[in-house]
Amino acid sequence: MAERPQRESAYVRLARRLRTAILRHDYPDGVRLPTEAELAETYRVSRQTVRRAFQDLVAEGLVYRVPGRGTFATPREEQYLRQFGSVDDLMGLSIDTRMDVVTPLHRRVDVDAAGRLGLHTDRVHKLAFLRRHEDVAFCHTSVWLPPAVGRLLEEVTELTLPGTPHAFTVIGLLDQRLPEPIAEAEQSITVAEATADLAGHLGCEPGRALLRIDRVYRTAGGQLVELSVSHFLPEHYSHRVRLRRSGTPAGSPVAHQGSGPSTSK
């Protein structure tokens, strides 16, 4: 496979590295992150690049800055908080959550899913899994893939074995195998009642109100490669969006989506 062209700027790459380190608790409460000068030397970038990366992390609420002391990770206490401002952030779910397959990858006929994926056939690949944080199941997700895309994952043995948590995401697996990268996701948010099947997986009563998030993923060339429908328990998940007025400087984050399933049981 040919090497992909560079798709992101230096500050975005640096922000991702720092974000990953923070989510892995490399900088617990009270431990200062490296200074701008230290990061610039370590990653061979300008201090302006480091400053821009820090600005994004501050805007996301992941870090805070104390004049004269430095930059620190925002304390999370016992709450799981992730910022979803990009497809890369969604791929990063594998950092501190686990995917527990409940319906292995298989082929089936699904007219509705095929229509949403813009297919000329009714056949799709499907799988379903629970997303867990510290053994708490906070989300059930069903995924549908076009046949050609689904075949790319048939070699992933873990997707055919239910009951064992794994540290990856479906879009992350696809991004490694597709001829071009996943570039965007269209998202809709609604409320749905828990079916008997969903209630059994999430440990709630049937009819319980759940947060439903539908996403359709496209590659850089516009190809639809995945439809996902996720149902979240409201006591373990909140969804927040920060919006900015028009006229925000080019390159500034326009919206940040946050989620926070509680780890208490």
pLDDT of residue 67: 86
47 in a domain, yes or no? Answer: yes
For residues 160 and 29, state if they share a domain.
Answer: no
Contact 147, 124 (CB under 8 A): yes
Q: What mean pLDDT do residues 197-219 have?
A: 92
Alpha helices in the chain (DSSP H): 10-23, 36-43, 47-60, 87-91, 111-116, 147-153, 170-177, 196-202
Half-sphere exposure of 83 (CA within 13 A, CB side): 23
What is the total residue count of the chain?
Answer: 265
Q: Is residue 189 assigned to a domain?
A: yes
The residues facing 188 across adjacent strands are 214
**Percent helix / strand / coil, the chain, rounded to 5:** 30, 35, 35
The per-residue pLDDT for 128 is 96
CB–CB of 100/136 below 8 Å?
A: no
User: Last residue of a domain, which of 75, 107, 132?
Assistant: 75
Where residue 241 falls among pLDDT bands split at 50, 70, 90?
Answer: low
CATH number at residue 52: 1.10.10.10
Specify the number of domains making up the chain.
2
Are both 68 and 88 inside the same structural domain?
A: no
Say yes or no to pLDDT of 88 above 80. no
129 and 18 within one domain: no
45 and 93 fall within a common domain: no
Region 238-256 average pLDDT: 50
| Angle in degrees, CA 20, 24, 26, rounded to 5 | 100
Most confident of 64-68, 136-140, 184-188, 206-210: 206-210
Percentage above 90 pLDDT, the chain:
43
- Name the percent of the chain lying above pLDDT 70: 78
Q: Tell which residue, 218, 214, 208, has the closest CA to residue 230.
A: 214
Range of the domain at 56: 10-75
pLDDT (mean) for 147-172: 88
- For residue 143, pLDDT over 90 is answered with yes
Instruction: Assign 232 to helix, strand or coil.
Output: strand
CA-to-CA dists, residue 243 to 21, 36, 85, 134, 166, angstroms: 26, 28, 11, 31, 34
The residue among 51, 75, 99 that closes a domain is 75
Residue in 211, 129, 114, 124 with CA at minimum distance from that of residue 169: 129
* Contact indicator for 153, 166 with CB cutoff of 8 Å: no
Same domain, 99 and 201: yes
Of 159, 128, 158, 161, residue with least CA distance to 230: 128
Q: How far is CA 87 from CA 140, 160, 217, 218, in A?
A: 19, 25, 9, 10
- Both tokens assigned to 154: 């048939």
Most confident of 23-37, 69-83, 110-124, 216-230: 110-124
In a domain, 255, yes or no: no
Alpha helices in 80-195 (DSSP H): 87-91, 111-116, 147-153, 170-177
Asked if residue 247 belongs to a domain, the reply is no
Q: Residue 105: how many CB atoms within 10 A of its CB?
A: 20
158 and 41 in one domain? no
Of 58, 75, 92, which residue constitutes the final position of a domain? Answer: 75
Q: How many C-beta neighbours within 10 Å does residue 169 have?
A: 21
Q: Is residue 262 part of a domain?
A: no
Residues 110 and 229 grouped into a single domain: yes
**Is residue 190 situated within a structural domain?**
yes
Average pLDDT on 129-155 reads 92
